[in-house]
């Protein structure tokens, strides 16, 4: 395995470093990347939904202003009169034993539905002189003043009022904010969200209410509610949320001994357990209220600990409470949140656990978790040092993946990425179960994007190399061999090497006279068709085309792909060329064109192969004595009248192929004699007649070499009488006749010498 620092890889590595750097900057808050934020939100949602509790929370009940209650004649459409609200409170506390009631609604306007205002106006005007009317009015006024009755309920029961904040510029301010707030001395509200406007309750209610809290959620950019601000800053004060106010009220009720409610104070705690005074430039990490601890996000929000999809809490229609038809057990000692599921009242939210989720249940989840009630979900938070740890992990793991992607194979680098993702996922899930949410999208995206980038660059680089490799070897080597070579191009090159190969030379006999019989157009088609057919046989036989020299063809076997059986493949290809030529001649004759006769010379042995030539023109070719021998043997096919000639080295390398020995020759440039053979076909395919002919020929050749020239001629005569004559018979017979007339010298070695090429 070696580091391949080509230009593309260097570019990929630098690009990978840029990706890692950008994502580290995003982790540290130096950049804004909405896509990464969206990925972190998706990771959070997946973790939340995978780990939802199996049981429904107990101890928190939702009093539902539902459509059935709105349709009931006892209540009617919203807003209900304050006497009905007061009656519901009396039912909840006196008849059912509720611990705390919190309103996810506001009471912003006076209730004049009793007609008291009209009666009071009459007492001042038309009936001002009627003492009986005034006396009766004074008697009825306590029952008809619905707001005063509700005010009394607020002073008598542990009730938490709700209100909302507006965060847009130039927001309106309506109603009153509660007097209970945390005054920030420095005039800053620290890390908490800041509001411009609000919608509050009537001042008379806020002045007497034991506790109040805002029910403004924090809506993410994708429209989902994942957080609630524990406090909201307005002007120079901090205002608690409805869920916190409700939890504090529940703790006060639990701790009450003499009937007096003492709401526990809130302590803001920073890193190292140091109490933080809001507005002093410190960032609170937790809020401690009595025996409960609420972890804060850096922006002062709390991750809503959803216990499940919609209706994970018990919903009780308000009309059933008013009628007294409810099982008292769920309400006894419960925290009751008053809210609505009626679509027309517009308090439906989108959350990670459901697209249509009542806003009141968002607060129910928070209250249940703040109080650690049975079945509630675990409070989770992101440690304030998480960005530093994630940035460091992104640097280390992102760089590791980058180096692995550049250095290692795709399989190894891909396995590394999978391992990193599995470890990251496992660690994130473990920390989640311990109560911590770590945003690791930057880390995951760094590893995935770096791996993908380097993989794509390597793929493009490899694709270009393959195209270049294919164009380099495709004109020589069969396509299927090029494809195989392109899978591992480093194993192949055009550099010159020496190795054992088999070379083939083929030439058309009498081509000059053939060309004179055809028009230029027909000649071009004629030779193109011939060369194409012969080249296809060479290519199909695994050969590498070297070059065309006019009507001649040069090819070789064993390079660039190693082929131990290069000699056998070359012989089989040569025989296939002859068979194809026979079919081609039938076609040519049908078109009135002259038929072809060719000679093929083969030679096996050590050769130099590689990209050779000049600065002007180069070619992938072979050179050496064995190559020259192949060219000489192609020329000798005309002398012996054979289609194919091969030396002993080729014949010995081809078991299973029947060869006929032709002669022992000494070609030009060679002192050592060479035995030459004619391949006839696979041993199992050669007919008995051909085998008999070969045996007879060998008898004749043996007699010739034993100086028994007359006997050799006699055997040749038998061969002619038994079958068609062959040109080699004429050659041997002519040689025997010459030696009969003029016997060879005593040192004759039966070797035919050729002084020309």
H or E stretch at 35: helix 34-50
Lowest pLDDT segment from 228-232, 284-288, 632-636:
284-288
Which range marks the domain in which residue 704 is found? 687-757
- In the 3-class helix/strand/coil scheme, how is 160-189 assigned residue by residue? EEEEEEECCCCCCEECECCCCCEECCCCCC
Residue 48 included in any domain: yes
> Is 611 in contact with 496 (CB distance < 8 Å)?
yes
Task: State whether 693 and 676 are in the same domain.
Answer: no
Predicted pLDDT of residue 440: 92
pLDDT category of residue 275 using cuts at 50, 70 and 90? confident
DSSP string, 498-546: EEEEEEEEEEETTHHHHHHTS-HHHHHHHHHHHHHHHHHHHHHTT-EEE
- CA–CA gap between residue 568 and residue 574 (Å, rounded): 10
Predicted pLDDT of residue 478: 52
Predicted pLDDT of residue 481: 56
Task: State whether 72 and 48 are in the same domain.
Answer: no
Residue 328 included in any domain: yes
> Is 631 in contact with 641 (CB distance < 8 Å)?
no
Predicted pLDDT of residue 613: 76
Task: State whether 483 and 463 are in the same domain.
Answer: no
Predicted pLDDT of residue 3: 47
Give SS3 for 68.
helix
Predicted pLDDT of residue 382: 92
- CA–CA gap between residue 407 and residue 654 (Å, rounded): 45
Residue 461 included in any domain: yes
Task: State whether 444 and 574 are in the same domain.
Answer: no
Phi, psi of 591 (to 5 degrees): -95, 5
Q: Which of 601, 684, 695, 583 is nearest to 644 (CA)?
A: 601
DSSP string, 569-637: HHHHHHHHHHHHHHHHHHHHHHTTPPP--EEEEEEEEEEEEEEEE-SS-EEEEEESHHHHHHHHHHHHH
Q: Which of 390, 386, 456, 455 is nearest to 416 (CA)?
A: 455
Task: State whether 182 and 313 are in the same domain.
Answer: yes
The total of other beta-carbon atoms located within 10 Å of residue 404's CB is 22
| pLDDT tens, position by position, 427-456 | 999 999 999 999 999 999 988 888 888 888
pTM of structure:
0.66
> Is 104 in contact with 359 (CB distance < 8 Å)?
yes
Residue 655 included in any domain: yes
DSSP E strands in 38-166: the ranges are: 60-65, 100-103, 159-166
User: Which position has the higher pLDDT, 658 or 9?
Assistant: 658
Task: State whether 714 and 610 are in the same domain.
Answer: no
> Is 283 in contact with 190 (CB distance < 8 Å)?
yes
> Is 288 in contact with 297 (CB distance < 8 Å)?
no
- CA–CA gap between residue 746 and residue 757 (Å, rounded): 28
Task: State whether 84 and 196 are in the same domain.
Answer: yes
Task: State whether 426 and 536 are in the same domain.
Answer: no
- CA–CA gap between residue 436 and residue 674 (Å, rounded): 87
Predicted pLDDT of residue 725: 63
Task: State whether 446 and 547 are in the same domain.
Answer: no
Predicted pLDDT of residue 2: 43
Task: State whether 440 and 577 are in the same domain.
Answer: no
Residue 414 included in any domain: yes
Residue 323 included in any domain: yes
User: Which position has the higher pLDDT, 465 or 402?
Assistant: 402
> Is 355 in contact with 349 (CB distance < 8 Å)?
no
Give SS3 for 427.
helix
| pLDDT tens, position by position, 733-746 | 999 999 999 999 99
Tell which of 630, 654, 683 closes a domain. Answer: 683
> Is 575 in contact with 681 (CB distance < 8 Å)?
yes
Buried b (16+ CB within 10 A) or exposed e, 522-555: ebeebbeebbeebbebbbebbbbbbeeeebbbbb
Task: State whether 587 and 569 are in the same domain.
Answer: yes
Tell which of 656, 683, 710 closes a domain. Answer: 683
Task: State whether 366 and 457 are in the same domain.
Answer: no
H or E stretch at 553: strand 552-557
């Amino acid at each position: 395995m070696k580091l391949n620092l080509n230009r593309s890889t260097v570019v990929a590595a630098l690009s990978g470093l840029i990706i890692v750097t950008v994502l580290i900057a995003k982790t540290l808050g130096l950049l804004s990347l909405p896509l990464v934020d969206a990925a972190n939100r998706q990771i959070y949602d997946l973790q939340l939904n995978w780990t939802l509790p199996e049981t429904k929370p107990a101890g928190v009940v939702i009093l539902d202003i539902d459509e059935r209650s709105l349709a009931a004649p006892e209540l009617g459409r919203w807003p209900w009169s304050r006497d009905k609200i007061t009656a519901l409170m009396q039912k909840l506390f006196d008849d059912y034993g509720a611990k705390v009631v919190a309103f996810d609604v506001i009471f912003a306007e006076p209730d004049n539905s009793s007609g008291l205002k009209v009666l009071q106006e009459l007492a001042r005007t038309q009936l001002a002189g009627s003492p009986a009317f005034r006396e009766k009015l004074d008697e009825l006024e306590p029952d008809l003043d619905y707001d005063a009755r509700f005010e009394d309920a607020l002073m008598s029961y542990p009730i938490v009022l709700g209100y909302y904040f507006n965060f847009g510029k130039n927001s309106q301010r309506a109603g009153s904010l509660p007097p209970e707030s945390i005054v920030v001395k420095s005039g800053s509200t620290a890390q908490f969200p800041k509001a411009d406007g609000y919608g509050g309750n009537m001042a008379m209610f806020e002045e007497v209410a034991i506790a109040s809290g805002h029910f403004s959620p924090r809506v993410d950019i994708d429209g989902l509610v994942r957080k609630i601000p524990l406090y909201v800053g307005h002007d120079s004060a901090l205002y608690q949320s409805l869920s916190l106010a409700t939890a504090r009220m529940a703790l006060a009720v639990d701790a009450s001994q003499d009937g007096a409610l003492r709401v526990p104070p809130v302590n803001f705690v920073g890193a190292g357990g140091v109490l933080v005074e809001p507005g002093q430039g410190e960032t609170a990490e937790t809020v401690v209220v009595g025996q409960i601890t609420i972890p804060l996000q850096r922006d002062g929000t709390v991750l809503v600990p959803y216990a499940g999809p919609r209706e994970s809490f018990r919903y009780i229609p308000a009309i059933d409470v008013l009628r007294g038809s409810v099982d008292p057990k769920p309400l006894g000692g419960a925290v009751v949140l008053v809210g609505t599921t009626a679509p027309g009242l517009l308090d439906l939210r989108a959350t990670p656990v459901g697209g249509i989720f009542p806003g009141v249940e968002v607060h129910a989840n928070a209250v249940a978790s703040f109080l650690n009630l049975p079945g509630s979900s675990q409070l989770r938070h992101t440690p304030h040092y998480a960005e530093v740890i994630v940035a460091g992990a992104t640097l280390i793991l992102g760089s590791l993946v980058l180096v692995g992607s550049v250095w290692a194979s795709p399989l190894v680098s891909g396995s590394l990425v999978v391992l990193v993702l599995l470890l990251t996922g496992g660690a994130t899930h473990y920390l989640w179960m311990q109560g911590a949410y770590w945003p690791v999208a930057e880390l995951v995206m760094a590893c995935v994007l770096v791996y993908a980038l380097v993989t794509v660059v390597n793929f493009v680089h490899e694709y270009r190399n393959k195209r270049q490799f294919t164009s380099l070897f495709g004109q020589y080597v069969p396509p299927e061999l090029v494809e195989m070579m392109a899978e591992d191009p480093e194993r192949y090159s055009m550099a010159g090497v020496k190795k054992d190969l088999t070379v083939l030379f083929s030439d058309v006999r009498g081509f000059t006279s053939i060309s004179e019989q055809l028009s230029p157009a027909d000649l071009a088609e004629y030779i193109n068709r011939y060369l194409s057919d012969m080249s296809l046989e060479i290519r199909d036989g695994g050969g590498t085309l070297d070059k065309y020299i006019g009507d001649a063809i040069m090819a070789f076997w064993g390079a660039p792909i190693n082929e131990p059986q290069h000699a056998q493949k070359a012989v089989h290809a040569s025989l296939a060329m002859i068979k194809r030529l026979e079919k081609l001649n039938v076609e040519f004759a049908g078109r009135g064109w002259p038929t072809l006769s060719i000679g093929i010379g083969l030679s096996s042995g050590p050769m130099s192969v590689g990209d050779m030539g000049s600065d002007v023109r180069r070619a992938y070719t072979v050179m050496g004595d064995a190559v020259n021998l192949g060219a000489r043997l192609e020329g000798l096919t005309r002398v012996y009248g054979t289609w194919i000639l091969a030396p002993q080295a080729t014949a010995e390398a081809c078991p299973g192929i029947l060869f006929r020995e032709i002669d022992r020759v000494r070609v030009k440039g060679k002192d050592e004699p060479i035995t030459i053979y004619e391949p006839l076909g696979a041993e199992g395919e050669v007919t008995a007649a051909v085998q008999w002919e070969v045996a007879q020929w060998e008898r004749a050749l043996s007699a010739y070499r034993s100086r028994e020239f007359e006997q050799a001629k006699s055997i040749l005569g038998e061969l002619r009488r038994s079958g068609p004559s062959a040109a080699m018979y004429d050659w041997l017979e002519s040689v025997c006749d010459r030696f009969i007339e003029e016997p060879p010298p005593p040192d004759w070695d039966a070797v035919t010498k050729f002084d020309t090429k």
